[in-house]
Chains A and B, each alone.
Chain A
Amino acid sequence: GENVEQHPSTLSVQEGDSAVIKCTYSDSASNYFPWYKQELGKGPQLIIDIRSNVGEKKDQRIAVTLNKTAKHFSLHITETQPEDSAVYFCAATKGAQKLVFGQGTRLTINP
């Protein structure tokens, strides 16, 4: 089955700097790669996703890149703000239902 590895497990950046979180997946058949943000005491919330027919997708300060050959994808957050502090999860799946999540990255934005 699919296996998703996520790094780093914790990340601390200065406000205004960029943050990058990386994930690798094992199943070359996976074709959907969402990123979820989880704030304390809440359920995960989708922030951006990408399909395997696209190499990059951007939405304001966040972007995701996908390298199908290397089977890895990354989340980039620019101009970080205190409200970006949260746990971020990557996921991979064939189809869009049976998500396999990475272990999560705790991002802290230091003012």
Chain B
Amino acid sequence: DAGVIQSPRHEVTEMGQEVTLRCKPISGHDYLFWYRQTMMRGLELLIYFNNNVPIDDSGMPEDRFSAKMPNASFSNLKIQPSEPRDSAVYFCASQVASKVYNEQFFGPGTRLTVL
């Protein structure tokens, strides 16, 4: 298995532009998570899905952020309009539903820079 795939790996954009980050979870996994990592705030959960349905979006910082999971193989996180304070590494992770095996598998991340 290729693991969790994220694209792009790096994104540089200007303030006010729309940004779309993409994620392909591991096949067969039931949960998908979006995290943001910054030096100041560490690793924060933004939103997670179970069977393509958003379960908890309480970590989404503002209405400028939105996430969708149209099918089991794809999710995207959009920021519109982007701001310099959105600069961070964004990770997608997936997990299989299990009572005994709970590992979240993280992708390599997308490093976003908003100028």
- Pairing of A with B: yes
Q: Are B95 and A96 in contact (CB under 8 A)?
A: yes
B34: interface (CB < 8 Å) = no
Q: Are B106 and A43 in contact (CB under 8 A)?
A: yes
Stretch at the interface among A16-24, A44-52, A54-62, A70-78: A44-52
Q: Are B42 and A97 in contact (CB under 8 A)?
A: no
Q: Contact residue range for chain A?
A: 20 to 34
Q: Are A43 and B103 in contact (CB under 8 A)?
A: no
Q: Are B42 and A102 in contact (CB under 8 A)?
A: yes
B25: interface (CB < 8 Å) = no
Q: Are B43 and A44 in contact (CB under 8 A)?
A: yes
A89: interface (CB < 8 Å) = yes
Q: Are A43 and B102 in contact (CB under 8 A)?
A: no
Q: Are B42 and A43 in contact (CB under 8 A)?
A: no
A41: interface (CB < 8 Å) = yes
**With the chains together, A104 CA to B43 CA distance in Å?**
9
What 1/0 flags go to B62-100 for Cβ under 8 Å of A?
A: 000000000000000000000000000001010100000
Given contacts A89-B43, A98-B56, A101-B43, contact A44 B106 (CB under 8 A): yes
Q: Which residue of A36, A42, A96 is within 8 Å of B108 (Cβ)?
A: A42
B79 to chain A, nearest CB (A): 20
B5 to chain A, nearest CB (A): 11
Residues of the A chain whose Cβ atoms lie less than 8 Å from the Cβ of B107: 43
Residues of the A chain whose Cβ atoms lie less than 8 Å from the Cβ of B93: 43
Q: Are A45 and B42 in contact (CB under 8 A)?
A: no
Residues of the A chain whose Cβ atoms lie less than 8 Å from the Cβ of B42: 89, 101-104
Residues of the A chain whose Cβ atoms lie less than 8 Å from the Cβ of B56: 98
B17 to chain A, nearest CB (A): 25
Q: Residues of B with Cβ closer than 8 Å to A? A: 4, 31, 33, 42-45, 48, 50, 55-56, 91, 93, 95, 102-104, 106-109
Q: Residues of A with Cβ closer than 8 Å to B? A: 32, 34, 36, 41-46, 49, 89, 96-104
Q: List 8 A-B contacts (CB under 8 A).
A: A34-B104, A41-B108, A43-B109, A49-B103, A96-B95, A101-B43, A102-B42, A103-B42
